[in-house]
Amino acid sequence: MDRRTVLGGALLLPAAARAEARWDAIVDPRTGTLGKALERAAAAGGRPFRILVREGVLVEKLTIAVPNVTIVGSGPKTVLSFGTYAGLKHPDGNVWGTGRTGTLTVSAPGTTLRNLTIRNSFDYIGAQRDTAGNGAQAVALTIGREADRTWVDRCWLEGYQDTLYVQSRSLFTDCRIVGGVDFIFGGAAAWFERCEIVTRFVPGAAEFGFLTAPSTPLEQPFGLVFSRCRLGREPGVPARSTWLGRPWRAGGNMALTGQSVFLRCWLDAHIKREGWTWMGYKGPDGEQRRLTPQEARLFEYASRGPGAGPASSTRRMLGQADAAKFTRATVLGGWDGFSG
């Protein structure tokens, strides 16, 4: 018997069918691919296109190239995974380089990602063990310069070095971001709210990396801003072993004075007392230089927990008036993610 019901001349669908009708495409990892769903989104020509992904693992390397795509998973066990790393040889004869390694790359505006895990599965620990770590940058999620108004909600982002590369205005809410070296980086104005930022354990490591590497342009008032986040660590990561970050002057561009700000965050004991450190770059004269925390825009306000440290020349604290300038609305230029 047809389970659909006709009432008053209208076709009524069961509740499950009505729920599925909300989606333009539904992906079951056992039988389909997210790549095929994104091809259908491209054919839609930019109209809002909603994709539901059921629980399972998708081994794909993908780009969202059309506007207004929403991808919703079924929770952390909905996994998109791939293992490209910077030093790997590309089919064009060059190496991939950091910017091309993303498991998922967003290169169009108005993208929403929700309830899924995005993972770069490159064997970073094995590469370190075998002293093959050069070119070990391996991005899970890249948000490109054209990807304005990207909202990432309740997602798990997993990698080791360079997990999240964010280059345009973005909002992250209730996410879990896991990595080790410079694992949240880029020049975007981005707001991270109630996120868990987790430092990974690497056997034999003397230090355990840097949470952020901002490359914010000087004329841009806001960079990577973390509000009410929790900075944690995997078992084995020792106390006072991890930097909040270091400023990245990408390509020696003197106009980049990276900004990272932590507002009302809880910090575990793995955070170093000094907070921030320098990052090297090659100046216009070809000489090797250092961009120091004092030259960059690296700040905290009302940090809590065992990793909260005293103010110093490298660990600068905002006053209440300056901290009040950092809100979701100001950082994101009036866009809040919920209004499209």
If one counts the domains in the chain, the total is 1
* pTM, 2 dp: 0.93
Residue 53 forms part of a structural domain: no
- Positions annotated as catalytic residues are 162, 182
In a domain, 140, yes or no: yes
Kindly report the CATH number assigned to the domain that includes residue 326. 2.160.20.10
Question: Model confidence over 187-201: pLDDT tens digits?
Answer: 999 999 999 999 999
Residue 7 lies in a domain: no
Angstrom distance (rounded) from CA 68 to CA 110: 5
Question: What does the pLDDT read at residue 174?
Answer: 98
- pLDDT, one tens digit per residue, over 32-87 is 999 999 999 999 999 999 999 999 999 999 999 999 999 999 999 999 999 999 99
Task: Give the Cα separation of 55 and 28 in Å (integer).
Answer: 7
By CB atoms closer than 10 A (0-12, 13-18, 19+), residue 317 is middle
Cα 276 from Cα 264, distance rounded (Å): 17
* Type and span of the H or E element at 25: strand 25-27
Per-residue pLDDT at 98? 97
Is 324 a member of any domain?
yes
pLDDT at 180 over 90: yes
Q: Find the mean pLDDT for residues 88-115.
A: 96
- Amino acid making up residue 99: G
Q: What is the mean pLDDT of residues 202-213?
A: 92
Which tens digits make up the pLDDT trace of 236-247?
999 999 999 999
Is 149 within the bounds of a domain? yes
Alpha helices in the chain (DSSP H): 15-20, 34-43, 124-129, 320-323, 328-331
Q: What is the pLDDT of residue 3?
A: 39
Find where tokens 């944690």 sit.
Answer: 232
Which residue segment(s) compose the domain that 176 sits in?
64-331
193 neighbors 174 (Cβ within 8 angstroms): yes
In a domain, 46, yes or no: no
d(CA 72, CA 140): 17
Concatenating the DSSP letter of every residue in 55-73 gives SEEEE--EEE-SSSEEEE-
Residue 337 confidence (pLDDT): 76
Q: Does 35 reside within a domain? A: no
Percent of the chain with pLDDT over 70: 92
Rounded CA-CA distance 128/277 in Å is 23
74-94 pLDDT, tens per residue? 999 999 999 999 999 999 999
* Structural domain contains residue 59: no
- Lowest mean pLDDT segment, chosen from 102-111, 132-141, 274-283: 132-141
